Structure 1
Amino acid sequence: MKNLYLDCQSGISGDMTLAALIDLGADMEYILSELRKLPIDPFIMDVKQIEKKGISSKSLVLHFTEEEHKHFHHHTTPTPSHSADNHTHHHRHASAILKMIRESDLSDRVKERSLSVFDVIAKAEGKIHGMDPAAVHFHEVGAMDSIIDVIGVALALESLDVDKIVASPVPTGHGKVMMAHGLYPIPAPATAEILTGVPLADFSVEGELTTPTGAGFIKALVSEYGSMPAMQIEKIGYGAGKKDFDHPNVLRVMLFETKENYSTETITVVECQLDDMPGEAFGYLMEEALDKGALDLYYTPITMKKSRPGILITVLCKPESAFIMEDLLLRETTTFGVRKSKWERHILLRRFQKVETPYGTLTVKIGFKNGEIYKISPEYEEIKKVARKHFVPFMEVYRLVENIATEQITK
């Protein structure tokens, strides 16, 4: 199991994170090839080696074609970030970005991580502006370079096969910064909202150390906060910010590999039971819960007081999503109350692998323990696309890919 530690001594931003992961060893060709499959503006991405107060680090270099830059320049106002090439492309609504990711050919884990980052940012922006998160009109994270940062980081994590992410407390900086809507205090409103519940570091520096995109990584992808884990370091990478301070403006990332046979994590279970809700509402509730980050949701038939048949609704989620799920149940069901508890779950270690099939290269998820493979599961979205494209029954494609993967991987 591979663990990543984000050492955010000088804050965190999108370009710093992507550059640090590439410095750590993420395959840049893989990242670029996957990004170029998406319906986004043509771009050129590279990294260069620079020095920040004596620390050799990688700096992300991102360029768009001049035609695209000219076309979109008059539509937008620049928003500050650590990136020197914070291009002023057209802004996109959260719903459009999420739809693009969901409909892409990215692997399930890359989709999940990308969607979770944009989701926490959209919810923060929605709260600040008093609007539905889906209708949020992104500024910084709607720019093409920040979309590339977010999805690029998810791809880099996949390239490194990172299973778990831990982070240090996060400094934000102080002072004021000019943004699209005017002069704002640091941390910017979106950054502050995203970082609710996240431990902050006491590091008094004038300037923006953590951007909304960086805060989004911390809130959406990190499962624990604290000091460096007591494990053997496998590799270290450094990503440089574009600003210069009296301290090294770098993000340090460290890769650890544990010998655990399975992963242990704490989840929150939110429940309620009711006997007076129409069946159609249950389908809507499940869609909403999964869209808002629930790990799973299921319904159990039960017998309630006065022998009335009822339904027990159980939602599994990450601890930081518990409030969202409680509010969802109170708003979208007929219940007058919810209860929650913390559970510990053990899950098999997993990795994703490509296999060659008569329908092309497809992805399978492998669950293993003690080096022994326990499960091989084809990815649902890919099987669905193949079944529809070739007019073949879903289960026929699923079993074929499962058998081919088992033969290729276990031989």
Structure 2
Amino acid sequence: MVIRTHRSCGRPSDVSEPVSHLHLDALGGISGDMFIAAALDAAPGLLDEARHLASAICPDISIGLEDANDHGLTGKRLALTLPHHRRGPRHYPDYRAIFLGAPTDAAVIDRACDILRRLAEAEGRIHGVALEKVHFHEISDWDSIADIILSALMIERLNVRSASAGALPLGSGTVQTEHGPLPVPAPATLEILKGARFHDDGVPGERVTPTGAAIFSHLGPSESPPGQVTLKAIGYGFGTKTFEKMANTLRLSLYLPTGPAVRDTVGAIVFHVDDQTPEDLAIGLTNIRAQPGVLDVQQMPSFGKKNRMASRIEVLCDPATVEIVARCCFLETTTIGLRYGMESRIILPRETGLTVADDANVFTKRSTRPDGSTSTKSEMDDVARAGNERDRQSLRRRTEKNYHK
């Protein structure tokens, strides 16, 4: 019997990387290029994929990574070469179309679209226009496209499933925009960061850019890392400005949870259906389950208005994909309204091994409980191929008994 193991959390990138917690210390501030530089300083092996993705988005975009030293700290500074002969898109739907067509996996695209949406919604509220009509004013075109898609790539490849951050520097003064000088933080930045913690360190200038704010908001950071964690990597990303008395850097710390349970956040969608045939609803729920980022779909009987029998549907998904999954719920079912939000959860550490026995490949999951004991369960879809009930139970007992890491 041969065991080949990998982690399993329901997404393709989870197979090669353990779940990570990301912590940010915005000493100098946060911008898209500082975040990418810090991530690449912590995980330099991601540079080749980042270069490939950037050039695939636009052949005239290239990435350079420079060594940086500022006030005794060393790290990386991102250098982007951008197209000068043509201007990029300026409207939200055009940006989104570029991301949806990006040659990368759905999880990266989902994150990029979520970061972009946060920027667009802030602009829409400021200027009083609908989301689809948003014309970006406070971000540049190709620069922001590269920052957003590459930040999404970094977050997904680092397998970040929770985040925390210190207070953000407030900054002061004005920033030049297409509408003339505006106070710092810029209007879009302030709109995105409602509820975030700030502090005034007395250093003037724009310290948090709109794109940096959207990345920060996408991560949804708490104030401190959860529970017991082990430090895995550290990265320093430097901005282009220099400050007299401090380094203009963003520090990224990557942690692995080591406690008996992992805390993270999931998107939760709930709705009811009372006017769709069971056969068609089953097809719709199957299609929802197949959506990137969906973790679980539950269907329960309930009594609705006028004592009608109804189905209560609960969908759990990656926080970055909530709105995309919600749209799918409207398309695949007859519901005309749903509730969604973010919910905290605690999950036991688990790993999955591919067990090869009697020419049968069976995925087997082992979870570790708070007292150190473990529980093991083989994937029933794999066991089902063994034959009759006696053969199925025999294969299941053997794979669960002989599983090892």
Same fold (TM over 0.5): yes
Aligned match of 2:40: 22
Alignment of 1:15-54 (within 5 A): 15-27=33-45, 28-38=47-57, 40-54=58-72
1:256 aligns with 2:275: no
Counterpart of 1:9? 27
What is the aligned partner in structure 1 of residue 392 from structure 2?
A: none
Contact 2:271 2:335 in 1 (8 A): no
CA distance in 2, matches of 1:145, 1:295: 33
Q: Which range moves more in the overlay, 168-177 or 187-196? A: 168-177
The equivalences for 1:289-300 within 5 A come to none
Q: 1:110 to 1:272 in 2, by over 3 A?
A: closer
TM-score by length of 1: 0.66
| Alpha-carbon shift at residue 210 of structure 1 (Å) | 0.3
SS in 2 for 1:197: coil
Task: String of CA shifts for 1:116-138, please: whole Å, max 9, x gaps.
Answer: 21111111111112122233222
- Once the two structures are TM-superposed, the CA of residue 49 in structure 1 deviates from its matched residue by 1.5
1:181 aligned residue (179, 182, 196): 179
Residues 2-401 of structure 1 mapped to structure 2, 5 A cutoff: 2-27=20-45, 28-38=47-57, 40-64=58-82, 68-69=83-84, 71-72=85-86, 89-226=87-224, 231-245=229-243, 246-259=245-258, 263-267=262-266, 269=268, 271=270, 302-310=302-310, 312=312, 314=314, 316=316, 342=343, 344=345, 346=347
2: CA distance, partners of 1:133 / 1:200:
28
Q: Secondary structure at the match of 2:196?
A: coil
Residue 203 of structure 1 and its aligned partner are, at CA, apart by 2.7
Question: Contact 1:50–1:56 at 8 Å: present in 2 too?
Answer: yes
Q: Give distance in 2, aligned partners of 1:2 and 1:338.
A: 29
- Computing the radius of gyration from Cα coordinates, the structure with the larger value is 2
Unaligned segments of structure 2, at least 5 residues = 1-18, 353-363, 369-373, 382-403
Q: Separation in 1 of the partners of 2:188 and 2:308?
A: 47
Question: 1:92: Cα distance to partner?
Answer: 3.0
Separation (CA, whole Å) in 2 of partners of 1:323 and 1:157: 19
Q: Helix, strand or coil for the counterpart of 2:246?
A: coil
CA RMSD of aligned residues (A): 4.7
CA offsets, 1:235-267, max 9 Å, x none? 221111111123211011112223357643345
- Give CA-to-partner distance per residue, 1:71-111, whole Å, 9 cap, x none: 33xxxxxxxxxxxxxxxx33332222222222333123222
Q: Letter of the aligned partner of 2:73 in structure 1?
A: I
Equivalent residue letter for 1:152:
L
For residues 152 and 163 of structure 1, what CA distance do their matches in structure 2 show? 17
- What is the number of equivalent residue pairs in this alignment? 339
Q: Distance in 2 between matches of 1:271 and 1:14?
A: 34
Q: CA deviation at 1:2?
A: 2.3
For residues 33-86 of structure 1, the C-alpha deviation after alignment (integer angstroms, 9 at most, x for no partner) is 233233x2512211112222222231111113xxx41x33xxxxxxxxxxxxxx
Q: Please, what TM-score do these two structures have when normalized by structure 2?
A: 0.67
Three-state SS of the structure 1 residue aligned to 2:185 is coil
Q: Deviations over 1:214-239 (max 9, x none)?
A: 11111002342337976332322111
- Separation (CA, whole Å) in 1 of partners of 2:324 and 2:56: 33
Is the contact between residue 302 and residue 312 of structure 2 (CA under 8 Å) also seen in structure 1? yes
Matched-pair contact (CA < 8 Å) for 1:30–1:159: no
Percentage identity across paired residues of the two chains: 30
Q: Distance in 1 between matches of 2:351 and 2:106?
A: 13
How far apart are 1:139 and its partner, in Å?
A: 3.7
Per the alignment, do residues 126 and 237 of structure 1 end up closer, same or farther by CA in structure 2, a change over 3 Å counting? same
Segment drifting more, 214-223 vs 341-350: 341-350
Q: 1:121-172: per-residue Cα shift (whole Å, max 9, x none)?
A: 1111111121222332224545112211221122233444444332222223
Of 222-231 and 144-153, the range deviating more from structure 2: 222-231
Match of 2:356 in 1: none
SS of 1:216's equivalent in the other structure is: helix
Quick check: 2:172–2:204 contact (8 Å CA) kept in 1?
A: yes
Stretches of structure 1 that go unaligned for 5 or more consecutive residues are: 73-88, 352-365, 378-409
- Residues 191-223 of structure 1, C-alpha deviation per residue, up to 9 Å, x if partnerless? 001101222234332110000111111100234
Q: 1:258 to 1:295 in 2, by over 3 A?
A: closer
SS of aligned partner of 1:97: helix
In 2, are the aligned partners of 1:168 and 1:228 still within 8 Å (CA)?
Answer: no
